[in-house]
Amino acid sequence: MTASASGLDPQISPAAAQYQVARVARMRHVRVEQVQALVATFTEGRQLGLLGEPQVNVLRLNLALDGLQAR
């Protein structure tokens, strides 16, 4: 997954992550379902349940994807 256009943001929107799922699965040689499950796992909700928008933690997601490939 990529962070953002600037490369500085540690999080991206769930929609941006879903847009990249098939490409990431293909490049990392894992199943699309595995990547989708990890995106869901590392999607963080709104702060206090109402502030901001849900975000995907890109660092944690990439570390988990690295762990899939190590198996």
pLDDT digits (tens, 9 = 90+) for 26-62: 999 999 999 999 999 999 988 777 888 999 999 999 9
Q: How far apart, in whole angstroms, are the C-alpha atoms of residue 6 and residue 31?
A: 28
Cβ atoms 1, 42 nearer than 8 A: no
The pTM score is 0.81
What is the C-alpha R_g of the chain?
Answer: 12
The three-state secondary structure class of 11 is: strand
More confident residue, 37 or 71: 37
Q: How far apart, in whole angstroms, are the C-alpha atoms of residue 22 and residue 58?
A: 16
